[in-house]
Amino acid sequence: MRRLFIAFTLIILFGQVKIASAREILQGDACTVAADTTITGDVFVACQQIIIDGTVTGSVFGTALTGRINGTVEKNLYLLMWQLEINGSIGGDVHFAGASVRLQPETRLGGSVVSASLSTQLEDIAVPGSITGIGYQLLQDGQVGEEINFWGTALTVDGTVNGDVTASVGDRNSTGVRELRTLFNALFRIDLIDPGLRVTENAAINGVLSYESVSEGEIAGQLATPPVFTPVVVALDLDGQGDIGQSIAVYLNAVLREFIGLGLIGLLTLLFVPIVLLDPIYSLRTRPLPSLGVGLVTFIAAFPIGIFAALIGLLLFFVFALLGLVDLGLGFGLVIEVITLAGVGLFVFVAIYITRVIVALALGRLLLRVLLGERVEGRMNVVALLIGVVLLALLVSLPIIGVLINALAVFLGLGAILTLVQRELDQVRQQSPPRPRGGDYIQIPPPILEEDLSAPGMANLPDGFKWWE
């Protein structure tokens, strides 16, 4: 059944099967909706390049490398692609994920813009709804009917925003992007701007401007209320250019946060499920290098696996939608996405906290054994945990080297957990009796006979005859 389902899915997606419904499937290298063409209903796209010069009365779903929309889409866009340019009319919302999306001045939009991309650029257009973006940069020019929410590195507001502007951006004084600008412009045709917030003199924000950054933004436009700036301190300054007292305070604040977080989670885990912390320490002590390697490989592989699982949910939704079973596809897709999100959340929690708590406990136990010369057990594990948490918090809060120590602790702890799980599985397999294969059979021993069965017919039997088999 699984092979049949895979084959059927591939035929639907890449074959020449035509499904009689109010949906159009575009696939191939170059997909074009000509200017004199009107497609009634939704359009599903799986192409290298998609160009829409005509009219689509429904929504457009799908993926491509590049795309250009010069015509009309009467409902919404849901696109995953590298680069997208819009010059036409979109009756609903634009949902985009990829490297770059540009809404040029000819664009007529009826809803909102939701973008997860390296660069999102709106050039002198009116957005009746809101703009929500995450990525490196967002450049807004024109008029926004509602609010702007952005999480990234660079935000430029060069038009009118009737609602609030909420942003989290990078340091305006940073110069690291300048070395990458030429490379990105040449290879990917993406012009990166400098980090930070910029509200030009042509801009007007009728709501509240609130933003987080390392440095204050460049604000020259008209604001209805004073801006709300939340400074973010990211590292300890050791080059002597800043206030050393403030730098030490920042460092101690980071140490305190690490101590509270790791200490609280470690104490709760040690109190209720101590096996989660104590058992992996054996692997960490006896096999540190294999644990480091296993943890590193698992950490790197976990993110592609999570993305693949999420794409499976989207694939199921599209397959069932093509068959006309939108509700069933939505149900299956949501179940898979919920399971994926739960798994990713659990993995992130374990990788960020539990792994480092295991390393901290191992460090504390090692120090106590060196100082006291005796095995750490019982309540001494709590003392060992607190000692290890303090030591680890002091190390991971250091600039530059702290990142490496933090990563080393995560990889060691994660590898110790997985090594323990593998060892437990091996023991279970060794204790389980082997099951007979298809051509094997179980030898049944002869029964113990308590009387002589020298009955008629038992003589002159061939050699090797066993009546009990």
For 34-43, the CB contacts below 8 A with 24+ separation are: 35/70, 35/71, 42/75
According to the model, what pLDDT value does residue 29 have? 80
Mean pLDDT of 428-442: 59
According to the model, what pLDDT value does residue 403 have? 84
More confident residue, 437 or 260: 260
CA-based nearest residue to 90, from 64, 127, 133, 121: 127
Range 123-149 burial, b when 16+ CB lie within 10 A, else e: bebebebbbbbbbbbbbbbbbbbbbbb
According to the model, what pLDDT value does residue 421 have? 85
Write a three-state SS string for 376-440: CCCCHHHHHHHHHHHHHHHHHCCCCHHHHHHHHHHHHHHHHHHHHHHHHHHHHHHHCCCCCCCCC
pLDDT digits (tens, 9 = 90+) for 229-259: 988 765 544 444 445 666 677 778 788 888 8
Residue 293 CB partners (closer than 8 Å, separation 6+): 415
At residue 146, what are phi and psi to the nearest 5 degrees? Answer: -120, -120
pLDDT digits (tens, 9 = 90+) for 371-401: 877 677 777 888 888 889 999 988 988 877 8
pLDDT digits (tens, 9 = 90+) for 342-369: 888 888 889 888 999 999 999 988 888 8
Whether the predicted pLDDT of 7 surpasses 50: no
Mean pLDDT of 107-117: 92
At residue 363, what are phi and psi to the nearest 5 degrees? Answer: -65, -45
Report the percentage of the chain scoring pLDDT > 70: 79
According to the model, what pLDDT value does residue 12 have? 38
According to the model, what pLDDT value does residue 104 have? 92
Which band of pLDDT confidence, cut at 50, 70 and 90, is reported for residue 99? Answer: confident
Mean pLDDT of 184-208: 81
According to the model, what pLDDT value does residue 84 have? 92
Whether the predicted pLDDT of 139 surpasses 50: yes
According to the model, what pLDDT value does residue 301 have? 82
Which band of pLDDT confidence, cut at 50, 70 and 90, is reported for residue 189? Answer: low
Range 235-245 burial, b when 16+ CB lie within 10 A, else e: bbbeeeeeeee
Report the percentage of the chain scoring pLDDT > 90: 30
- Which of 114-123, 190-199, 313-322 is least confident? 313-322
Across the chain, what does the average pLDDT equal?
79
Write a three-state SS string for 177-222: CHHHHHHHHHHCCCCCCCCEEEECCCCEECCCEEEEECCCCEECCE
According to the model, what pLDDT value does residue 468 have? 52
According to the model, what pLDDT value does residue 3 have? 39
Whether the predicted pLDDT of 408 surpasses 80: yes
According to the model, what pLDDT value does residue 464 have? 59
According to the model, what pLDDT value does residue 200 have? 93
According to the model, what pLDDT value does residue 1 have? 41
pLDDT digits (tens, 9 = 90+) for 207-225: 999 999 888 889 998 999 9
Tokens 């305006």 map to which residue?
172
Its pTM surpasses 0.75: no
Whether the predicted pLDDT of 452 surpasses 70: no
How far, in Å, CA of 204 to CA of 160, rounded? Answer: 5
Mean pLDDT of 273-280: 85
Which band of pLDDT confidence, cut at 50, 70 and 90, is reported for residue 458? Answer: low
More confident residue, 291 or 329: 291
